[in-house]
Amino acid sequence: MSKIFTRAFRVRWGELDPSGTVSPANYLRYLIETAWDWGVAAGMDANYSQSPDVFWLIRETEIRFLRPLRHNDEFDLTIWMVNWQRVRGTRCFELTRKDGGEVVAQGTQHIVYMDAKTGRPTNLPEAEIEKFRLEDPRVFPFERFPKVLPAEAVYTMQRRVEWMDLDSYEHVNNVIYVNYAEEAAAQDFSARGWSPAQLAEAGLGVAAKRVHIQYLSLALWGETLNISTHPLEVNETGGSRYVGMTHADGSLAAECILDWELVDRQSGEARPLPVELRG
């Protein structure tokens, strides 16, 4: 088995958002599908992955979007391990178009090997680590999730966890938190006078440039998450915003930073922000 694993994809219609490009959450779906297939190729088949004794936990993901993907685009997603230290590892990934090899997106993900009985991290056997270890892996720049201070002007909403949000482990799927974060951003824009419909009428769209998310505790069916968001910085054509998702007791389930840009829907070129979105 190659220690650098590649899987091919073709963009399906249902993976597009209203702007006609692949939504950020679906990039993470592609990543998870590739990681599962990589494990199967290494001998970690469905029985191993669904073991009642151990499981994998994603702690943090950062992905930078360089080019949009549209319906029927074909691309490769390549993934490889950067390092592994006792209970946790770092892997990098890259998406490239099949027609010419243009880089679409790149990122880094941190994972933890967990003991299901204790709920605590446990050592991955050395024999398993050797299946993925590279001598001189390519590494992308990665920033640890920053400490974000409370803000005064915060938009808040609530989201009840639904059955469709869950994965086979019966907790909220990792990619769904990105959907929650994008919904909070859209609601905030709408409260400022720029709903998705108003943006579309003006020929504008919001393009994700980077998603950085860390997962801190599990969210389960039926509970209500409190979601808050506020800008971290704003420039002439976009900015960066924080989204925090907390349980009823105030503890964090996940937190996310979204870097975004306002673009022309047809050309994809950056456009100046309306005054209402600059605050």
What are the pLDDT digits (tens) for 12-68?
999 999 889 999 999 999 999 999 999 888 877 655 545 567 788 899 999 999 999
CA atoms of 101 and 109, how far apart (whole Å): 22
- Grade residue 1 by pLDDT with cuts at 50, 70 and 90: low
Sequence-ordered list of residues with C-beta below 8 angstroms from that of 130, at least 6 positions apart, any chain: none
Sequence-ordered alpha helix ranges (H) in the chain: 24-41, 46-49, 126-130, 174-191, 196-201
Average per-residue pLDDT for the chain: 93
Mean pLDDT of 166-192: 95
DSSP-derived letter for residue 274 is P
3-state secondary structure of 37: helix
82-101 pLDDT per residue, tens: 999 989 999 999 999 999 99
Query: What does the block give as tokens for 31?
Result: 């990543």
25, 176 in Cβ contact below 8 A? Answer: yes
Query: For residue range 206-265, what is the model confidence (pLDDT) as tens digits?
Result: 999 999 999 999 999 999 999 999 999 999 999 999 999 999 999 999 999 999 999 999
Structural domains for the chain: 1-142 (3.10.129.10), 143-279 (3.10.129.10)
Which residue bears the tokens 């579309």?
200
Distance between CA atoms of residues 179 and 254, nearest Å: 12
Burial 213-233 (b: 16+ CB within 10 A, else e): bbbbeebeeeeebebbbbbbe
Q: Which pair of structure tokens corresponds to residue 160?
A: 């009840």
Closest CA to 69 of 31, 36, 33, 102: 102
CA atoms of 75 and 118, how far apart (whole Å): 40
Instruction: Look at residues 169, 162, 269, 272 and name the one whose alpha carbon lies nearest to residue 225.
Output: 162
- Indicate the DSSP class of residue 15: G
pLDDT for position 214: 98
Q: Per-residue pLDDT tens for 266-278?
A: 999 999 999 999 8
- The pLDDT of 136-163, averaged and rounded, is 93
Read off the DSSP letter of residue 81. E
